[in-house]
Amino acid sequence: MKPTIVTAFAVLALLSSIGASCVNDDVLVVLNLGPIVGKYRVPPGENTTFAGSITIRLDSLIPPGYASTLKQARVYDIRVRVEGAYDGRVSGESHVKVGSGTRTSLIKFPASGSAPWSSFSTPQSLLGSSPLLAPDPSGISQLLQAFSTTPLPTITLFADGHLDVAPVPGNLYVIVEVYLQADATLN
Amino acid sequence: MTSLRTYLAAVCLGIASFMSNTVAAQTQFEVTIKQFDVESVRGYVQPIGDMFGANMNAGLYHSAKIPANGFHIRVDLVGAATIIGDEQRAYNAKLPAGFVPETGSYKTATVFGGKGTTFRDVNSGLEYKGSDGIFNTRVFPLLMPQLSIGSFFGTEISLRYMSTPTLGSGKFPSTTLFGLGLRHSVSQHLNLPFDVGVGAYYSSFSAGSLIESEGGAVNVQLSKEFSFVTLYGGVALESSTTKIQYETSISNVETQVSTSLMGANRFRVTSGVELDVQAFRLFADANFGRVKHFSGGIAFGF
């Protein structure tokens, strides 16, 4: 019976070894994190300026277990859109601040001057090479560097700007969306 | 008693080797696919559905000969290995709206692929990346113990079952494999120079709450004995479905992902050989269909 057992072990060892220990080295899992959404209310009335900020904890975007294995991140789109009806024009800028760092420009809308409010009713996208958006590489770089900071910091996304005609009706919003991916190694 | 101990040792070894193969891989697999939304996860893990489907219906028989009557019992330890082709290493992943050129998709690694592809938008230079593949292997294995009992008017019932517990302080999901089959000797009713049988089989496999696979097959089995060698083969119609369900959390928003993957194999042709070496039988076969795979193993019976 000994040969039987030896054979059984040999066959099963062969079968079980097929495909075993064959996990790729340094597997990168791409985490689709975004978007970070900042929704800023434009106050109604005679004042034509708006300003606001949202702060998020960066680790709230990261799935459990991955915060310590992040390798790099990328922004794959920034979109700016508006909600509400307004016949005038708008201009604005969004800034980013990492932790207690300095505010850095992230994107201007439009690059200079102003644009009809209604032109942002359809989301303007970097991917669409919108002429109404002017991203600032320094702000994007600062945002991405936050992912290599330990512990992961907070991110504050600001937006400010103004409209050209008063009075400003109610229920107007400017919305900035930042779409991100981060690469992490498997635990 | 010695024979019984041998059977038990072999079954335990089979279970242990199955656990060593699958548990570590499950964890890698599980944590990765939870990063996919429902649109992307199908392409990334579709080869898993194909592999499970093909393997679950493997090694169902290694002879068409079933005695017309008389009690017999047989334990098979079946190993199945599905060949992973190039077409199962990459898939067309969906791109977010706005990327140019606007093909809507880009080819990147499946769970069996290599490095994930980075797609660059030609206008903005913005990039979007796919996850790397996890498994670097040319074959996808599965081990299954199978118990066959007969015969009642040339009919035999077979049962496959294996369960592994949750391991690693809850990191590794439990797995359960179950299979049930029935086959009948047709040649007992006919005067043929070879054996003919027909069979119908059901199989299921689950890994935690993440993966549930079900498969079914009906086949026609043929075999011919030559001294200690039996040549066997057959054709089968089959299907399998792998359901994947998980919760994913993006920006603190819990999303339930649920999708079903149909196994690629619908039809297979099997060709194999069995060697009777007295104390046990060794068998091996090749299976041809949309998914090519091999199975083999060892059988003990009395």
Q: What is the DSSP string of chain A?
A: -HHHHHHHHHHHHHHHHTTTT-BPTTPEEEEE---EEEEEEEPPBS--EEEEEEEEEGGGTSPTT-GGGEEEEEEEEEEEEEES--SSEEEEEEEEEETTS--EEEEEESSSS-EEGGGGTSPEETTTT-TT-EE-HHHHHHHHHGGGSSS--EEEEEEEEEESSSSBPSSEEEEEEEEEEEEEE--
CB contact under 8 A, A27 and B32: yes
CB contact under 8 A, B139 and A18: yes
| SS3 of residue B245 by DSSP | strand
Domain range for B125 is 86-136
Q: Which residues of A touch B26 (CB under 8 A)?
A: none
Q: Which of A1, A65, A128 sits opposite B98 (nearest CB)?
A: A128
What distance in Å separates the CA atoms of residue B100 and residue B269, rounded to the nearest whole number?
44
Q: Is the dihedral of CA B52, A16, B148, B219 positive or negative?
A: positive
CB contact under 8 A, B135 and A61: no
In one letter, which amino acid is B93? A
| SS3 of residue B35 by DSSP | coil
Check residue B15 and give its pLDDT: 38
The mean pLDDT value for B193-211 works out to 88
Do B203 and B284 belong to one domain?
A: yes
The Cα of B186 is separated from the nearest Cα of chain A by a number of Å equal to: 32
Closest residue by Cα to residue A35 from B198, B96, B167:
B96
CB contact under 8 A, B131 and A29: yes
The Cα of B165 is separated from the nearest Cα of chain A by a number of Å equal to: 18
Do B289 and B197 belong to one domain?
A: yes
Do B153 and B77 belong to one domain?
A: yes
Q: Which of residues 124-163 of A touch B (CB under 8 A)?
A: 125-129
Q: Does residue A17 have a pLDDT over 70? A: no
Rounded alpha-carbon distances, angstroms, from residue B82 to A51, B265, B289, B296: 60, 11, 11, 12
Q: Is A2 on the interface with B (CB under 8 A)?
A: no
Return the bridge partners of A61, or none: none
End-to-end CA gap in chain A: 44
The mean pLDDT value for A90-107 works out to 96
Q: CB-hemisphere CA count at 13 Å for B65? A: 13
The Cα of A66 is separated from the nearest Cα of chain B by a number of Å equal to: 10
Do B198 and B102 belong to one domain?
A: no
The CATH number of whichever domain residue B185 belongs to comes to 2.40.128
Find out whether B108 and B133 touch, Cβ atoms under 8 Å: no
Q: Which residues of A touch B127 (CB under 8 A)?
A: 74, 76
Task: Indicate the pairing of strand A28-32 with strand B195-207.
Answer: unpaired
**B30 or A59, greater pLDDT:** A59
| Range of lowest pLDDT (A99-108, A153-162, B167-176, B189-198) | B167-176
Q: Which residues of B touch A74 (CB under 8 A)?
A: 126-129
Do B119 and B154 belong to one domain?
A: no
Q: Which of residues 15-74 of A touch B (CB under 8 A)?
A: 15-16, 18-20, 22-24, 26-36, 60-61, 63-65, 74
- What topology is assigned to A25-185 in CATH? Jelly Rolls (2.60.120)
Check residue B28 and give its pLDDT: 55
Q: Is A183 on the interface with B (CB under 8 A)?
A: yes
CB atoms under 10 Å from CB of A176, counted, come to 25
Structural domain tally of chain B? 2
Mean pLDDT for chain A overall: 87
Interface test with A, best of B131, B143, B144, B246 (most A CBs within 10 A): B131
Q: Does residue B301 have a pLDDT over 80? A: no
Do B205 and B284 belong to one domain?
A: yes
Do B122 and B12 belong to one domain?
A: no
Rounded alpha-carbon distances, angstroms, from residue B276 to A33, B21, B98, B112, B227: 58, 29, 63, 37, 9
Do B119 and B160 belong to one domain?
A: no
What distance in Å separates the CA atoms of residue A101 and residue A109, rounded to the nearest whole number?
23
Q: Where do we find the tokens 């819990």?
A: B254
Interface confidence (ipTM) of the complex:
0.83
Q: CB-hemisphere CA count at 13 Å for B208? A: 18
Do B117 and B202 belong to one domain?
A: no
| Confidence band of A5 (pLDDT split at 50, 70, 90) | very low
CB contact under 8 A, A29 and B135: no
Enumerate the domain spans of chain A: 25-185
Check residue B11 and give its pLDDT: 37
Q: Which of A27, A64, A129 sits opposite B123 (nearest CB)?
A: A129
Q: Does residue B149 have a pLDDT over 90? A: yes
The Cα of B153 is separated from the nearest Cα of chain A by a number of Å equal to: 32
CB contact under 8 A, B139 and A32: no
Return the DSSP state at B288. Answer: E
In one letter, which amino acid is A128? G
| SS3 of residue B53 by DSSP | helix
